[in-house]
A = this chain, B = another copy of it.
Amino acid sequence: MSVSEEQVAPTLARYAEQTRRAIDKVFMDGEPADYLYDLIRDYVGREGKGLRPGLLLATAEACGASIRSALPAAASLELLHTAFLIHDDIEDHSRLRRGQPTLHELHGAALAINAGDALANLSARPLMSSAFPRYRTREVLAELQLAVRQATEGQALELGWRRHAVVDLAAVDYLELVGRKTCWYTTMAPLRIGALLGRWRPEAAALDRLGFLAGCAFQIADDLLDLQPAGQAGKEPRSDITEGKRTLMLIHLLGTVTGTERRWVVTYLSRPEEDRPATDQQRLLAMMQAAGSLAYAGAFAAALADAAQQELERAFAEVPPSAALDFLRALVGHLVSRTS
């Protein structure tokens, strides 16, 4: 366990456990179990890192809200995120999620698409329940809808780039993509929703910048983990390379290599996924290492994380000190330094 994990793991686990209990309270069984609710419970039960609800709950606490009052929002966000994962896995042809076969591998794409739709719909339940004040429901729903809008726009960009073999990309395109696809529902929405539930209001523009910077740093760190021999926890290692995902490392490589080498990369990316043999994948990774793409991305993420810490101090300058605020500081550092 790294230093950052020691600092954040126990609190993150506590928030995750509280969110899980909030989900269990409202979450619904129903029929057909074998074609729908068993599928949903399978994915909801696969434990993730709990970053999103943890960030939301810590922000709410730091802003003076009780955890109890923020739990319905955290539960809805976590369920919505899980619904996304089901569809993302289909769109990306992913085979493993959280150490088990993806839902479409187990039940086919049709039932998995439908289960994702059902779960996205159910995700509003905690917010619509009597435990959550009515006047907040609309505000939080609007935030979640904004996050989904951004996430679907980012996902469309990423899928479009892959489908049309787009290679003419710079770091700024990557940040635009990740700003929409990852940041909104991973960091920006949790921060914004947490803040609107509290008494003390962090500075809104700085909070959004914090979310953007921390979310981008998180995504780059995530993509770097994918390239490690062990990969990310519970996923197939190096699936980004198989899928031709436009990571910062790939964009750096495309901007660095020239001549035959660049043409080889472009050809690799224009081939269908099933025509990308393992030897070619290893070659692409070796080229990234030789071009310094991994080191470049690591330094990029660290710089973003530093900037995020500064925005955090700006955003919360007028908010009283608290254990929750200290946890937020540690969590932002952890997003980049985590090892799984």
Contact = CB atoms under 8 A, between A and B. Distances in A.
A292 interface: no
A319 interface: no
Contact of A152 (B36, B108, B137, B159): B36
A9 interface: no
A80 to B, nearest CB: 10
A153 B113 contact: no
B36 A153 contact: yes
Interface string A7-36: 000000000000000000000001110111
A14 to B, nearest CB: 30
User: For this complex, into which size category does the number of interface residues on chain A fall?
Assistant: 35 or more
A56 interface: no
Given A138-B137, A145-B128, A156 B91 contact: no
A57 to B, nearest CB: 24
Interface string A35-47: 1100000000000
Given A148-B117, A159-B35, A30 B109 contact: no
Contact of A91 (B36, B113, B160): B113
A111 B149 contact: no
A142 B128 CA distance: 8
Given A141-B128, A156-B36, A149 B120 contact: no
Interface in A124-162: 124-125, 128, 134, 137-138, 141-142, 145, 148-149, 152-153, 155-157, 159-160
20 contacts: A31-B153, A32-B156, A32-B157, A35-B156, A35-B159, A35-B160, A36-B153, A36-B160, A87-B114, A87-B117, A109-B109, A110-B163, A114-B159, A115-B156, A116-B117, A117-B120, A117-B148, A118-B156, A121-B148, A128-B141
Contacts of A117: 87, 116, 120, 148, 152
Contacts of A122: 149
Contacts of A160: 32, 34-36, 111
Interface in A55-92: 87, 90-92
Contacts of A118: 148-149, 152-153, 156
Interface string A288-308: 000000000000000000000
Contacts of A36: 152-153, 156, 160
B114 A163 contact: no
Contacts of A31: 153
A153 B128 CA distance: 20
A47 to B, nearest CB: 24
A172 B128 CA distance: 33
A277 B172 CA distance: 51
Contact of A149 (B121, B134, B159, B163): B121
A160 B118 CA distance: 15
Contacts of A111: 156, 159-160, 163
A134 B141 CA distance: 13
